[in-house]
Structure 1
Amino acid sequence: MMLKFIAKDIQFLKTTGHTPALTPPDIYYSDLLTQPSKEFEIFARRIADTCAAQKTFTTAAIQIDPATPEDAIDKANDIFHACFHSVLDENRGIWECLDPFTAIFVFWDYQTAAQGKKLLDLLNEKIAQALNTELIMGSIAFPVHNFPVEEMAGCALKALDHAAFFGPGHAIEFDGVSLNICGDRLFQLNDIDAAITEYEKGLSIAPANINLLNSLGVAFGVDGFLDKAMEFFEKARHINPEEVMVIHNIALIHRFNDKNDSAIAYLKKAHGINPDIFEIELLLGHLLFKEQKFDPAISHLDAAIRVKPESGTAFRIKGQILLERAEAASAAAQFNQAVKLNPNDPEALSGYARAMALQKKNLSIALSFAKKSLDLNPENEQYRQNLEEIQNIHDRIEETDQNSSIKSA
């Protein structure tokens, strides 16, 4: 069973923001492994038939820059054919178009890995020159580790997705990062078991890769296997004790196990390494609030707001702290911002309603917000109590006003 997070912003860290952001591809060609097109199915059968007896061969997926002029794309199929046969011949390889932009190739009959790389570079160069555009390429040379022939086409697609993060003009040879990216894609599609398989394959190639160890820990954590998740986070921390995403994730496991003191200790260590990571500041602020340590909690929540002002969660938690301090007007201002950013946050709606009611201001709006919070989460007893409290305040004031009117008359 997947864990229910305390807020959509408080979750496991997959990256820390230390490295420059790369742009994910619009199309993940590795999706063809779970939803194969007719073209890919044809090629997969051909490679299984033709390469089973080959001791070495290279598979490459090549994509034209999507910004290439349409007239060049229209002739891509012919160019792929001409360039493939100018470098090789029908007895040394096969190829297939996957779509108007992309083709997948396999070739053999070379003596050394260097010769295979030279042929691949020549093929890449000829296609780029003929189309007058840059290419994105992912490749894999068999044999690699203990991967079977049948997986080579898929590995080339995973390498192509990897290369696509860097954009046109980049070529990537399949590696553990390619599997991390494929696992992340499956994770994004909520296929956690398949993602775990990809991360484990990646670790079989690169057992000391911190991103893979962390990714596997995250997948197990989201799937509810907290002990297994901690095992991989600790392996990653052993490799690099200063990696903040891993330290944060260990803290989150402690938080899920209701060990808030341990969680806070790890988060403070992560904060000391990098004080500008939203998730760390938000979770630290949240846990310090739960421990009634309001001043340091607000300090970390303010840091979270500075890093990510478009998230309403930190504003909402600040509002809750200010309500605890009986500072209703200041709390209302924080809840107001939280509701603007997320109009369907039941906790912010209920808190805002209560803050207005305590000031005896805008009681009709307070009632509507309190009712909406309960509609969004009908099982929450605190929202129900807040609604009843606000309704009572509203009714008393209305009754007082009516009595005053009668006496005046």
Structure 2
Amino acid sequence: MTVKFSSKEIHFLKKDSDNFKIKPPETYFSDLLLTKKNRIKAFQKKLSEVTISWNNFLCAVLELNSDRSESIIKNKKETLETFFNSFPDHKKGIWKCLSKTSFIMAFCGYESEKKAANRLVSLKEKLSTAFRTEILMGVAKFPCHDFSKPQTVVNALKAADHAAFFGPDTLIHFDAVSINISADRLYQLNKYNMAIKEYKKGLEIEPNNINLINSLGVCFGVMGKLDNAKLEFEKALKINPNEVMVIYNTGLLYQINGNLYQAIQCLHKAHDIDDCVFEVEFLLGKLLFKIQQFDRAMAHLEAASRINPESGLVFRIKGEIYLAKNQPEKAGIEFNKAVKLNPLDAVALSGYAKSMLLQDKNLNIAISLAKKSIAIQPANSLFKDRLKAIMKKIEVHASQEEKIKSAS
């Protein structure tokens, strides 16, 4: 599960396309639709100008594994030209280069989809042999759903992105997951309105796809359209009442709206279903801390730190709990962990300084930490009060030492 939200500390849960076991690609073919539209439009125009009947056709995006030596693919264009011209029915197909290592093609005139699919597999294998490298391929067909011929070209790009998640020697046919990946990419680029259209299009193909419904809700959520988000999460829960990420997101909406007890109730339900989700344990601990149920909060925060020991936020809140319980030494230990993980955590820096003040030790270090917290958040009055208290304590010590010297 991955998390995204406009806040730095609270996040909607979302099963993104980067949940595949293989890392997502560094570059996306679908980005060409945003950055190099002319290349795609040129092929779409070429497709529209074909004189033969194209009532049904397949479009494929292919990429040669760029990890191979440049010398292997330096004569790519000539090799491809020769290769396609060797097909008896090559006049029923068109192709165009997209980059040094990728190209797009379309062909028609096949007897059945099965034979066409077999032909693509054969094409992939022959090209792989010719170039001595792996071939990635994304395929889209026309007709499909209500997509137009130009949109079929776009769908092939999305299918290629889908294939890229599984490695360089993969062939994927366009489906709802391909749309989900495309929408997630737009989401990552903060193009939320475009992402919403994609998620909705995916739901036209798979109306009960919980990932798409939840992702649509998250998109509405980060845009501040909380009522729309709530409706989507409710739809998802009707399909599966025990889907943890949706229960969590519903709880998060309650929390955003200030309904802490309803939020806690949702989070407890999510915890009962799966107690190994970091976001659930962390937010549940944080909200229990807010309503001053410290011991219950600490139990969930401990669980969160076991799941993700690299989260400084967990240690920071544990430190705040120990401050509230007047246990400054334990608070200092937790704040120290938080600051090591995030040296710019102003709350942890100030809390660490406060713990030293309460222990009446290392006050010069405490002043340094307090000043750093104010440098990060200059308008925070609590941080300023803590700095004044530390300085006053130092003055008291100095005055006492002066009196001792005078007496001597």
Bin of the TM-score, shorter chain as denominator length:
over 0.9
Report the TM-score when normalising by structure 2: 0.93
Does residue 395 of structure 2 align to residue 406 of structure 1? Answer: no
Select between 213-222 and 241-250 the one with higher mean Cα deviation: 241-250
CA 1:29–1:19: 2 relative to 1, 3 Å: closer
CA 1:105–1:391: 2 relative to 1, 3 Å: same
Q: Tell whether the 8 Å contact from 2:248 to 2:266 is kept in structure 1 after alignment.
A: yes
Select between 228-237 and 50-59 the one with higher mean Cα deviation: 50-59
CA 1:266–1:338: 2 relative to 1, 3 Å: same
Select between 360-369 and 13-22 the one with higher mean Cα deviation: 13-22
Segments of structure 1 that go 5 or more residues without pairing to the other structure are: none
Once the two structures are TM-superposed, the CA of residue 83 in structure 1 deviates from its matched residue by: 2.9
TM-superposition CA deviations, 1:34-70 (whole Å, max 9, x none): 1116543422332343389621111111112232233
Higher relative contact order (CA 8 A, sep 6+): 1
TM-superposition CA deviations, 1:176-227 (whole Å, max 9, x none): 1111111111111111111111111111111111111111111100010111
TM-superposition CA deviations, 1:96-155 (whole Å, max 9, x none): 111122111111122322232232222212111212322211110011111122222221
Q: Tell whether the 8 Å contact from 1:79 to 1:127 is kept in structure 2 after alignment.
A: no
C-alpha distance in 2 between matches for 1:339 and 1:51: 68
C-alpha distance in 2 between matches for 1:158 and 1:172: 10
C-alpha distance in 2 between matches for 1:79 and 1:299: 64
- Counterparts of 1:179-198 in structure 2, within 5 Å, are 179-198=179-198
Residue in structure 1 matched with residue 76 of structure 2 by the alignment: 76
CA 1:384–1:87: 2 relative to 1, 3 Å: farther
Select between 329-338 and 241-250 the one with higher mean Cα deviation: 241-250
Report the TM-score when normalising by structure 1: 0.93
Residue identity in the other structure for 1:161: D
Residue in structure 1 matched with residue 328 of structure 2 by the alignment: 328
C-alpha distance in 1 between matches for 2:213 and 2:52: 33
Residue in structure 1 matched with residue 301 of structure 2 by the alignment: 301
C-alpha distance in 2 between matches for 1:395 and 1:51: 91
C-alpha distance in 1 between matches for 2:159 and 2:16: 23
Residue in structure 2 matched with residue 209 of structure 1 by the alignment: 209
TM-superposition CA deviations, 1:257-302 (whole Å, max 9, x none): 1111111111111112221111111111101111111112111111
Residue identity in the other structure for 1:403: K
Residue in structure 2 matched with residue 35 of structure 1 by the alignment: 35
Once the two structures are TM-superposed, the CA of residue 24 in structure 1 deviates from its matched residue by: 0.5
Q: Tell whether the 8 Å contact from 1:16 to 1:277 is kept in structure 2 after alignment.
A: no
TM-superposition CA deviations, 1:235-260 (whole Å, max 9, x none): 11111122111111111111101111
C-alpha distance in 1 between matches for 2:171 and 2:333: 51
Residue identity in the other structure for 1:363: L
Q: Tell whether the 8 Å contact from 2:339 to 2:349 is kept in structure 1 after alignment.
A: yes
C-alpha distance in 2 between matches for 1:168 and 1:217: 32
Residue in structure 2 matched with residue 318 of structure 1 by the alignment: 318
Residue identity in the other structure for 2:159: A
Q: Tell whether the 8 Å contact from 1:202 to 1:212 is kept in structure 2 after alignment.
A: yes
Segments of structure 2 that go 5 or more residues without pairing to the other structure are: none
SS of equivalent to 1:66: coil
SS of equivalent to 2:208: coil
Q: Tell whether the 8 Å contact from 1:83 to 1:123 is kept in structure 2 after alignment.
A: no
C-alpha distance in 2 between matches for 1:176 and 1:200: 10
- Give the share of equivalent positions with the same residue, in percent: 43
Residue in structure 2 matched with residue 235 of structure 1 by the alignment: 235
C-alpha distance in 1 between matches for 2:218 and 2:116: 38
Q: Tell whether the 8 Å contact from 1:44 to 1:153 is kept in structure 2 after alignment.
A: yes
Q: Tell whether the 8 Å contact from 1:310 to 1:341 is kept in structure 2 after alignment.
A: yes
Residue identity in the other structure for 1:370: A
**Deviation >4 Å, runs of 4+:** 16-20
Does residue 265 of structure 2 align to residue 265 of structure 1? Answer: yes
- Counterparts of 1:124-273 in structure 2, within 5 Å, are 124-273=124-273
Once the two structures are TM-superposed, the CA of residue 19 in structure 1 deviates from its matched residue by: 6.6
Residue identity in the other structure for 1:36: K
Q: Tell whether the 8 Å contact from 1:51 to 1:149 is kept in structure 2 after alignment.
A: no
Q: Tell whether the 8 Å contact from 1:87 to 1:123 is kept in structure 2 after alignment.
A: no
Once the two structures are TM-superposed, the CA of residue 386 in structure 1 deviates from its matched residue by: 2.0
SS of equivalent to 1:309: coil
